[in-house]
């Protein structure tokens, strides 16, 4: 009976953890990918011109990613040392929720404060995600980590997709389109806050091993010391370190496609309803395909399944260069939906499976840093190429370099050796 109660509690904890993906994915869909980029191009940045708005949006993303990249490993080390993973997750989630609500006050020509509020919102979103990811090993087991990780991504697709659908109805039904869009931003903050409650109530703060060598040290000082040490420790985990570099490269391409797709579509003149509708379709296509990738990993292996996703992404980047109409955007959005969640979920679980258990948050901080810090390059390169050429077509096809380069390094990762090494040092 006691064992059964433990299993029920564990399932509840796992579901509550996964629901945070449902909660914060509203920011990823409405704010980061679908509604705000178009609003930035056509309302906040209307005086800039379409291509200039695209360029400024690229620079905004790069700044936002730079800030989170610098903070991620520091905060991860602090969390590991202090045992504050859950508390820090909620602190940064609160920052993101508040900054997202402030987007309501952005109107015509307010591109600068739109960028500012987005940067703070993204800080809250990205940093809370570092601590959320670090809780994965404690709410799962080595046997079901792939399933739990993909469940989180699938629920994220569903939650983000449902709210995006509601936002589309708001924009279509409310006569004042600018007001409707501003209300969409508020709805994201409410959604994010509401569905974080299960994690608050049911997910426990993982136990930590006390650092007897520094019992009363300042956590920030200890964090910097541990970051320095972690760089050395990462070199001991060759496969983990090699995977991080590969992930750094290919995830930069994935992130750039996600963040720049709608503003690129707006620049070439595709209708707003078609752009947001296609992104909504991506969310719901992503649900079954994310689960499918979790199953596919059982047949092909986690690494090979990721490589399949990168092959599809390469085709998407090439196809986007030739995009002319809304139907082209819909086709490419469908293809993104087939690989986006599965590729990222399996990347997260592959990384988690090769981690030493006593350093999950600190190493996930580096995982967050690699995806954020490396992620600066994609949007920045996109913006620079777009600014130089006066168009974003060459910028979008340039992303194949990230997918091919990341795949070449990923092929060299021996994940079985990495898992064995992590287990032997636990």
Q: How far apart are CA 228 and CA 28, in angstroms?
A: 32
Enumerate the H helices of 174-271 as residue ranges: 177-194, 197-202, 219-234, 238-267
Instruction: Encode pLDDT of 359-404 as tens digits.
Output: 666 677 667 666 666 678 888 888 998 888 887 888 888 999 999 9
What confidence tens digit (pLDDT) does each residue in 136-191 have?
Answer: 878 877 677 777 887 887 788 789 889 999 999 999 999 999 999 999 999 999 99
The rounded Cα 81 to chain-centroid distance in angstroms is: 25
Residues 341/290, Cβ–Cβ less than 8 Å: yes
Output 94 or 142, whichever has higher pLDDT: 94
Nearest in space to 353 (alpha carbons), one of 239, 214, 229? 239
State percent of the chain over pLDDT 70. 86
**What average pLDDT does the chain have?**
84
* Mean pLDDT in residue range 30-50: 89
Residue 79 has pLDDT above 50, yes or no: yes
State pLDDT tens for residues 306-342.
Answer: 999 999 999 999 999 898 888 999 999 999 989 988 8
pLDDT digits (tens, 9 = 90+) for 245-294: 899 899 989 988 888 888 888 888 888 888 888 888 887 888 788 888 88
C-alpha to C-alpha distance for 63 and 54, rounded to whole angstroms = 14
d(CA 193, CA 147): 25
pLDDT of residue 217: 59
Running DSSP on this structure, what letter comes out for residue 271? Answer: -
Confidence of residue 213 (pLDDT cuts 50, 70, 90): very low
End-to-end Cα distance, the chain? 31
* pLDDT given at position 169: 93
Backbone phi, psi, residue 174, to 5°: -85, 120
DSSP label at residue 109: T
Over residues 88-92, the mean pLDDT reads 93
Q: Which among 401, 157, 414, 399 has a CA at the least distance from the CA of 293?
A: 157
**For residues 17 and 11, what is the distance between their CA atoms, to the nearest angstrom?**
10
* pTM score, whole prediction: 0.77
What domains can you pick out in the chain, each with its CATH number?
Answer: 2-201+221-424 (1.20.1250.20)
* Percent of the chain as helix, strand, coil, to the nearest 5: 85, 0, 15
Q: Give the helix/strand (H/E) hosting 374.
A: none
The rounded distance, in Å, linking the Cα atoms of 283 and 134 is 24
**Contact present, 371 and 344 (Cβ < 8 Å):** no
pLDDT at 356: 77
Which backbone phi and psi does 381 adopt, to 5 degrees? -65, -40
DSSP string covering 293-321, please?
Answer: HHHHHHHH-HHHHHHHHHHHHHHHHHHHH
């Amino acid at each position: 009976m006691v064992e059964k109660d433990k299993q029920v509690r564990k399932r509840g904890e796992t579901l509550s953890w996964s629901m945070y993906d449902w909660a914060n994915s509203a920011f990823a869909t409405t704010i980061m990918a679908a509604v705000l980029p178009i609003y930035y191009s056509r309302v906040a940045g209307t005086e800039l011109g379409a291509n200039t708005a695209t360029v400024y949006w690229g620079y905004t993303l790069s700044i936002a990613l730079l800030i989170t990249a610098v903070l991620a490993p520091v905060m991860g080390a602090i969390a590991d040392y202090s045992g504050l993973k859950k508390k820090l997750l909620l602190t940064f989630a609160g920052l993101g929720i508040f900054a997202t609500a402030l987007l309501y006050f952005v109107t015509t020509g307010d591109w600068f404060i739109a960028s500012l509020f987005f940067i703070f919102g993204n800080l809250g979103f990205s940093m809370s995600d570092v601590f959320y990811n670090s809780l994965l090993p404690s709410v799962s087991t080595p046997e079901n980590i792939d399933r739990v990780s993909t469940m989180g991504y699938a629920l994220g697709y569903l939650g983000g997709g449902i709210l995006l659908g509601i936002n589309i109805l708001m924009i279509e039904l409310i006569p004042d389109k600018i007001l409707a869009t501003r209300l969409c931003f508020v709805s994201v903050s409410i959604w994010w806050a509401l569905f974080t409650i299960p994690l608050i109530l049911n997910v426990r703060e993982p136990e930590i091993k006390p650092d007897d060598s520094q019992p009363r040290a300042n956590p920030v000082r200890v964090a910097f010391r541990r970051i320095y040490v972690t760089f050395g420790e990462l070199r001991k985990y060759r496969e983990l370190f090699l995977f991080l570099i590969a992930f750094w490269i290919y995830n930069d391409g994935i992130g750039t496609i996600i963040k720049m797709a709608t503003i690129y579509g707006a620049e070439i003149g595709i209708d707003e309803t078609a752009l947001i509708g296609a992104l909504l379709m991506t969310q719901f296509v992503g649900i079954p395909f994310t689960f499918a990738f979790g199953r596919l990993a059982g047949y092909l292996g986690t690494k090979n399944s990721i490589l399949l996703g990168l092959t599809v992404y390469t085709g998407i980047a090439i196809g986007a260069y030739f995009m002319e109409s809304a139907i082209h955007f819909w086709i490419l959005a469908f293809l993104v939906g087939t690989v986006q969640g599965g590729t990222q979920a399996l990347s997260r679980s592959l990384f988690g499976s090769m981690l030493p258990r006593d350093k999950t948050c600190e190493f996930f901080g580096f995982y967050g840093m690699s995806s954020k810090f490396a992620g600066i390059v994609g949007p920045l390169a996109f913006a620079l190429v777009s600014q130089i050429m006066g168009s974003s077509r060459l910028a979008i096809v340039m992303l194949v370099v990230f997918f091919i380069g990341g795949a070449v390094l990923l092929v060299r990762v021996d994940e079985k050796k990495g898992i064995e090494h992590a287990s032997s040092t636990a």
